[in-house]
Structure 1
């Protein structure tokens, strides 16, 4: 991500970066709560529940990603010359691409998990997945890490080489051939990166559509029965569908914003680029809040901390 120093930064861009930093810090806090609550529930157990494994992977990747992005924003604002050293720029691109892609994959697997556990399809393949999802989740997560690592290295290497060649002097005779080679290489990587990031998006869309269809079928069946609409499975459907659909909506916005920023559709720190930065920071934080809202276990930990804090304050004041 490129930017200018504070002296040349517009007030709107500075405001957007400040908002993005606040959003990232809220996301760090929320993901820390989810990570702590999920880890505490897994301590002492020999086998981790598949839901906790996915949520721990998602929250930890987002925790590191949002911490890194916060540092990135602060460096852009206060110490740009150090930020644009070649080694730091390379590490930043690798880390951002890897963590960003990992969080996208983990979020997609969470949508798939919701669909498999809650939806009530009778197809043999779906039943096979439902019975084996606990054993498949570790392999799904490991594959996501490997895919993210594979995707990050070549993309970041090309960004690094482009930055180095732009800053280095070149002769007029070789500039045309070098530009063609650079553009061909970068275009190929753009296509590969877009295709790879579209995979988790496709999984999320398919999971959401299947879950909506399952909910519709289940609702129609309940209308023909006398059991009413207080079926626990319907409530599970409704809660899962809200989480999955909200994540899908946020995912699409985040996906578009990241593509716009990474490929410099807008000039650095223009109004369009600044708005995309705010959206990119807001979407993961919003989904983290949705996860906390949809799971009572994640709500209990802040309540306990608040209760203990109040007890200690009252004890100290007496």
Structure 2
């Protein structure tokens, strides 16, 4: 039974790997082609490219950490290998989180209909607002990398002083605990910013619908649809990132109890965020959706043709 579940979970991981690489690769290639033709990209397209690159990195970093067990001898080479691996994950995870948050803020300023002076002031200077947020995030990235390097060094020296220091925890469990601590510290601000964007978009949608009712107009106008589409993207990001965070926390628990089956399940759940949200972005962004459906159309036609050949005697 356990072997069967392991095979099934491995199959799910492979499917998520394929979906994640195809969707993120599609976003990168599509925007690169547009850049070659037009020699410029919109701010949203630029955000999409960096999101796709960072999430591809997150996917492969998660897989590498899974298929290459983190049980090191704490030699100098191993210590550097641990540090480099963690720093790579920090960079990819940082840009994946912050640019998804920036995308939520961009949707807020482009779609929400508030008449407050402060909101209008920020909307008129949305590029400067986004640039300021991203430059500020680099400070957090720098502090994050220092914190990771310091913890790895302390971990190494602690092991050298006392070889039994981690007798109750596996070395991979200690690494998972470090990752969780890292995410808790440095994910709070962007997560709150995305949550605020969600709340403001919800309020804007409610006010817009109230206005539509007073004017006795329908509810399926373009602005309402834009609100709903933006809310779907932001809500999916918040939910999937929360799942991503909780899966890493569960991974730490599973490694403490040395449960390989639980760890495999956690891997499947962890890959949902970087693999699925990019597909949601494609389906929620009209330009990418049209191109994506155009790419899938020949495959669909080919499948129908094969089915007709099978059914015709």
1:30 alignment counterpart: 23
Cα RMSD for the two superposed structures: 3.7
Instruction: List gaps (5 residues or longer) in structure 1.
Output: 1-8, 177-185, 312-318
2:305 alignment counterpart: none
The structural deviation recorded for 1:310 is 10
1:5 alignment counterpart: none
In the alignment, which of 276, 284, 291 is matched to residue 286 of structure 1? 276
3-state DSSP class of the match of 2:227? helix
- Please list the CA deviations of residues 115-146 of structure 1 after superposition, one character each: whole Å capped at 9, or x if unmatched: 12111111111111211113333443344344
Are 1:121 and 2:117 matched, yes or no? no
Alpha-carbon distance in 2 for matches of 1:10, 1:310: 35
Change (3 A) 1:274 1:240: same
In the alignment, which of 241, 244, 248 is matched to residue 258 of structure 1? 248
- Please list the CA deviations of residues 211-270 of structure 1 after superposition, one character each: whole Å capped at 9, or x if unmatched: 111111111111111322232111111111111112221122112223444687753444
Equivalent residues of 2:55, 2:92 under 8 A apart = yes
How many residues get paired?
290
Instruction: List gaps (5 residues or longer) in structure 2.
Output: 167-175, 302-313
- Please list the CA deviations of residues 47-66 of structure 1 after superposition, one character each: whole Å capped at 9, or x if unmatched: 53221122122111112221
Equivalent residues of 1:54, 1:141 under 8 A apart = no
TM-score, length-normalised on structure 1? 0.76
1:155 alignment counterpart: 148
2:12 alignment counterpart: 19
Alpha-carbon distance in 2 for matches of 1:291, 1:247: 9
Alpha-carbon distance in 1 for matches of 2:177, 2:63: 29
Change (3 A) 1:47 1:80: same
Equivalent residues of 2:183, 2:245 under 8 A apart = no
3-state DSSP class of the match of 1:121? coil
Change (3 A) 1:190 1:71: closer
Superposed counterparts of 1:188-207, under 5 Å: 193-207=183-197
Alpha-carbon distance in 2 for matches of 1:198, 1:137: 18
Change (3 A) 1:26 1:268: farther
1:208 alignment counterpart: 198
Superposed counterparts of 1:60-139, under 5 Å: 60-76=53-69, 85-139=78-132
1:220 alignment counterpart: 210
1:53 alignment counterpart: 46
1:299 alignment counterpart: 289
- Please list the CA deviations of residues 12-47 of structure 1 after superposition, one character each: whole Å capped at 9, or x if unmatched: 456545533431332121111112222333336565
2:237 alignment counterpart: 247
Alpha-carbon distance in 2 for matches of 1:187, 1:279: 18
